[in-house]
Amino acid sequence: MEWCVSMPKVELHAHLNGSVRDSTLIELARDLGEKGIIVFSDVENVIRKDDRTLHEVFKLFDLIHILTTDHSTVTRITKEVIEDFASENVVYLELRTTPKRNDSIGMSKRSYMEAVMEGLRSVSSVDVDYTPSGLKTDTSNGTTRKKIYVRFLLSIDRRESTEAAMETVKLALEMKDLGVVGIDLSGNPIVGNWTTFLPALKFAREQGLYITLHCGEVPNQEEIKAMLDFSPQRIGHACCFGEENWRKLKSLKIPVEICLTSNIRTETISSIDIHHFADLHKAKHPLVLCTDDSGVFSTSLSREYTLASSAFGLGKTEMFQLAENAIDFIFADEGVKEDLRAIFEVATERLD
């Protein structure tokens, strides 16, 4: 595990509100409990529960959103999540979040994202490179410090309307200079129809945003086929593919964001021995290990690598290669890719 912590890593599938520390959620719940808004003990039990089905996970997200969705808390959790990833040597983080509108507290999708950006700017334990022009936070006073590249994906929730999805895409375009690089489609996979979001996704692509889709968390082969036909730059999960779609995925070589712990905990995959990572890795299909929701699933990217190593017999060289290969699938520009390759090059000499 220690070795996996020290290795540089690339995280491409992390949901902001799924990555909140348990301790922060408990503190926020206690606060709302004292104000009489929630019953703390009920909420504490839900937060501390270990295994949850996919259905229960989405109920938990509704609860997390009650605890976190005000501007100052969004700022706080963004700061903490970036610092947590940096502390385990994630050198490039693509953090995704659903911009939320809540009229009762004066929150618009834009002001939600401004709170996120405020959180990024308040990171103090590490320098953060977050814009295409290399604009970065720097509190180092000239000393060499640890650095993390952060880019954002704006998520569309499957509960949203076509108009709300379009609003998210327009916001992403306006925030391109602030490190927003793409759009994600997520949310409960049994809710809604993905065609609702096609106009927004097509528009995003025409405007030069990258697209990643949650694909195949449930065995809806028709939707999986249509999503693959759309040719997103990456997909997340790819758990419930029938044979035909499996062949299609492999021939299209669409990179897959693999979230081992998440898939096992939610029982989307019944056992790690039969996880599709093994088959894709053997076939040299482009893939990247990710956390999904490090808070909700009590994991970290180092843990995901450790798990892959023990479950599939990967040695250090293979793990390092896996981490380095992820550079090819990031949504940032060539300059960032070159910087990351240089970081891995230096690390090769350091790690034995």
Instruction: Tell me the catalytic residues.
Output: 217
Residue 214 interacts with ligand 5GP (CB under 6 A)? Answer: yes
Give the 3-state secondary structure of residue 285.
Answer: coil
User: Considering only residues 212, 262, 291, 309, which one is a binding residue for ligand 5GP as defined by CB under 6 A?
Assistant: 262
Residue 261 interacts with ligand 5GP (CB under 6 A)? Answer: no
Q: How many CA atoms lie within 13 A of 187 on its CB side?
A: 20
Over the window 306 to 335, marking each residue x when it contacts ligand 5GP by CB under 6 A and - when it does not, the resulting string is ------------------------------
Alpha-carbon distance of 205 to 232, in angstroms, equals 9
Rg (CA), the chain: 19
Residue 167 interacts with ligand 5GP (CB under 6 A)? Answer: no
3-state DSSP helix/strand/coil % of the chain, to nearest 5:
55, 15, 30
Angle (CA) 166 171 174, round 5° = 130
Compute the residue count for the chain.
352
Alpha-carbon distance of 295 to 314, in angstroms, equals 25
- 89 in the Ramachandran plot: left (φ > 0), alpha (ψ -120 to 50) or beta? left
Alpha-carbon distance of 149 to 339, in angstroms, equals 10
**DSSP calls for 115-151:** HHHHHHHT--SSEEE-STT--EE--STTS---EEEEE
Residue 16 interacts with ligand 5GP (CB under 6 A)? Answer: yes
Which C-beta is closer to ligand 5GP: that of 61 or that of 130? 61
> Comparing C-alpha atoms, which of 189, 212, 190, 188 is closest to residue 201?
212
Torsion, Cα of 58, 61, 62, 63 (10° steps): 130
Residue 293 interacts with ligand 5GP (CB under 6 A)? Answer: yes
Stretch that binds ligand 5GP, among 80-88, 102-110, 121-129, 185-193 (CB under 6 A): 185-193
Residue 97 interacts with ligand 5GP (CB under 6 A)? Answer: yes
> Taking each helix axis from N to C terminus, what angle separates 40-48 and 22-34, rounded to the nearest 10 degrees?
170
Residue 11 interacts with ligand 5GP (CB under 6 A)? Answer: no
Which C-beta is closer to ligand 5GP: that of 115 or that of 340? 115
Residue 15 interacts with ligand 5GP (CB under 6 A)? Answer: yes
* Residues of span 229-248 touching ligand 5GP by CB under 6 A: none
Residue 98 interacts with ligand 5GP (CB under 6 A)? Answer: yes
Which C-beta is closer to ligand 5GP: that of 17 or that of 137? 17
Which C-beta is closer to ligand 5GP: that of 5 or that of 32? 32
Stretch that binds ligand 5GP, among 40-48, 184-192, 281-289, 332-340 (CB under 6 A): 184-192
Which C-beta is closer to ligand 5GP: that of 201 or that of 319? 201
Residue 220 interacts with ligand 5GP (CB under 6 A)? Answer: no
Alpha-carbon distance of 170 to 309, in angstroms, equals 41
User: Considering only residues 78, 137, 155, 261, which one is a binding residue for ligand 5GP as defined by CB under 6 A?
Assistant: 155
- Residue 102 Cβ vs ligand 5GP, minimum distance, rounded to whole Å: 12
Element (H, E) at 249: helix 243-252
Residues that bind ligand 5GP (CB under 6 A): 15-18, 61, 97-98, 155, 157, 186-187, 189, 214, 217, 262, 292-293
